């Protein structure tokens, strides 16, 4: 099963790209959303994080306090590394299990902001689409979407980096949703597009 990675820094519009793909029937695995699901469904994940980070992370209802966790890991690189060592193996297993259910699809999409910079995910994708947008637009989108203050969003942005040289295709998201939709159509569905040729060559190998 061929896997296309859709990545981009926070607020770049990669989720909008993936929403457009889902409208066209493409299976999309949103790593962030699936990770949130793992926090809620696993009996051991949050207790392991609390032990590793040395602090309480659950709210009064017993579920993960996401804002507290976010504030910790985006201000402390060491805490972030501890979290990744615990959570990422579970995410990788979850993705592989999910991908196995889509054997009839031409390809599946893995949406993730961090995947290219994390060795555990190396080799999981057959092609990489990088979604880019100006920093000012990304900042505004995230503040509006998540309700965090500017300094918190900037801390999250500074904690991310993407090795752009590993991208096969760059999608510039600096216009309207209609323009982005047209770009998605050209890249993913236009006959003889670079992505189609790339995936076809992989299939022949």
Distance of CA 40 to the CA centre of its chain: 18
Which are the contacts of 149, defined by CB distance < 8 A and separation ≥ 6? 143
Select from 27, 29, 30, 31 the least CA-distant residue to 188. 27
The CATH classification number of 3-204 equals 3.40.50.300
Residue ranges per structural domain of the chain: 3-204
Estimate the crossing angle of helix 77-99 against helix 31-41, to 10 degrees: 100
pLDDT in tens, the chain (205 residues): 899 999 999 999 999 999 999 999 999 999 999 999 999 888 899 999 999 999 999 988 888 998 899 889 878 889 999 999 999 999 999 999 999 999 889 899 999 998 998 999 999 999 999 999 998 889 988 898 888 888 888 888 887 888 888 999 999 998 888 999 999 999 999 878 888 888 887 765 5
CB count in 10 Å sphere of residue 5: 23
Query: Cα–Cα–Cα angle for 18, 100, 87, nearest 5°?
Result: 70
């Amino acid at each position: 099963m061929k896997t296309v990675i859709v990545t981009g820094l926070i607020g770049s519009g990669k989720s909008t790209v993936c929403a457009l793909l889902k409208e066209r029937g493409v299976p999309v695995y949103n790593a962030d959303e699936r990770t949130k699901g793992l926090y809620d469904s696993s009996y051991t994940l949050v207790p392991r994080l609390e032990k590793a980070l040395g602090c309480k992370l659950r709210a009064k209802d017993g579920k993960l306090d996401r804002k507290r966790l976010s504030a910790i890991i985006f201000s402390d690189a060491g805490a972030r590394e501890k979290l990744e060592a615990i959570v990422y193996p579970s995410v990788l297993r979850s993705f592989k299990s999910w991908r196995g259910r889509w054997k009839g699809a031409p390809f599946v999409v893995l949406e993730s902001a961090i995947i290219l910079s994390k060795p555990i995910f190396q080799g999981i994708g057959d092609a990489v689409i990088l979604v880019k947008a100006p920093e000012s637009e990304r900042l505004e989108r995230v503040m509006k979407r998540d309700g965090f203050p500017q300094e918190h969003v900037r801390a999250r942005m500074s904690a991310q980096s993407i090795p752009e040289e590993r991208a096969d295709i760059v999608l510039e998201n600096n216009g309207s949703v209609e323009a982005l939709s047209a770009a998605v159509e050209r890249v993913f569905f236009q006959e003889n597009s670079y992505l189609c040729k790339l995936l076809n060559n992989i299939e022949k190998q």
